[in-house]
Chains A and B, each alone.
Chain A
Amino acid sequence: QVQLVESGGGVVQPGRSLRLSCAASGFTFSDFVMHWVRQAPGKGLAWVAVISYDGSHKYYVDSVKGRFTISRDNSKNTLYLQMNSLTTEDTAVYYCVKGPPEQRLVRWGYYGMDVWGQGTTVTVSS
């Protein structure tokens, strides 16, 4: 079945870096748009970043631009999130989320975000 498994979370000091990974299985990973979405403790969902099926297009929420980088390795069916210059505001559960099999940017919003990983917890604390 379709599965997304995140890893790489942990406790890190402010200003440090962390790289999250998401192993995908059960679908043709290279066909799909992929997202990272986070949820701070006791708060709602917040979209972080999206990447096109081939990794050529990447977009971020303003609060992480210049600090976070989303990437993918389609040969390994793996999505990544490199997080630099972390702050306490980045403390959250980070979800890897599957988007639609759409190459055209205008269609990225179709069909919603249909498969979510279990999440990996990132805690930024001194």
Chain B
Amino acid sequence: EIVLTQSPGTLSLSPGERATLSCRASQSVPSSYLAWYQQKPGQTPRLLIYGASSRATGIPDRFSGSGSGTDFTLTISRLEPEDFAVYYCQQYGASPPLFTFGPGTKIDIK
């Protein structure tokens, strides 16, 4: 079973700053199977990125995903007030089918 580790646990930044979030897998993950989600307090999760680097419908271009193998990154180029939230990475293992979420990274206002 692949375990996802996200770092840092909490990121304290100011609006306008760049955020770089890391997701590390215990084994290699096909890029096609790596996704990122945002969850604001009291809200449901929202798909941001799928296939490691493709933005989901309606996601602003300040969000970008990259990486391969065991190391993946979500970058928010310039933080907007609405971006302060928890971000989760998620991977899929096909044999047997198993979906795993990372523990999350919280971005809070510095």
> Are B56 and A47 closer than 8 Å at their CB atoms?
no
Docked complex Cα distance between A46 and B103 (Å): 9
Binary contact track A81-123/B, C-beta < 8 Å → 1, others 0: 0000000000000010000000001101111111011110000
Among A50, A61, A108, A118, the residue within 8 A (CB) of B44 is A118
Docked complex Cα distance between A113 and B35 (Å): 8
Instruction: Give the interface of B toward A (CB within 8 A).
Output: 30, 32-33, 35, 37, 39, 44-47, 49-51, 56-57, 86, 88, 90-94, 96-104
**Chain A residues whose CB sits within 8 angstroms of the CB of B32 once the complex forms:** 109-110
> Are A113 and B47 closer than 8 Å at their CB atoms?
yes
Instruction: Give the interface of A toward B (CB within 8 A).
Output: 35, 37, 44-47, 50, 57, 59, 61, 95, 105-106, 108-114, 116-119
> Are B47 and A50 closer than 8 Å at their CB atoms?
no
With A46-B101, A47-B101 as contacts: A109 and B44 at CB distance below 8 Å: no
**Chain A residues whose CB sits within 8 angstroms of the CB of B99 once the complex forms:** 35, 47, 50, 109
- Name the CB-closest residue of B to A100: B50
**Chain B residues whose CB sits within 8 angstroms of the CB of A105 once the complex forms:** 94, 97
Docked complex Cα distance between A105 and B39 (Å): 27
Please list 22 pairs of residues, one from A and one from B, whose beta carbons are closer than 8 Å in the complex, sorted by A's number: A35-B99, A44-B86, A44-B102, A44-B104, A45-B104, A46-B101, A47-B99, A57-B97, A59-B96, A59-B98, A105-B94, A109-B30, A109-B33, A109-B94, A110-B32, A110-B50, A111-B51, A112-B37, A112-B47, A112-B49, A112-B51, A112-B56
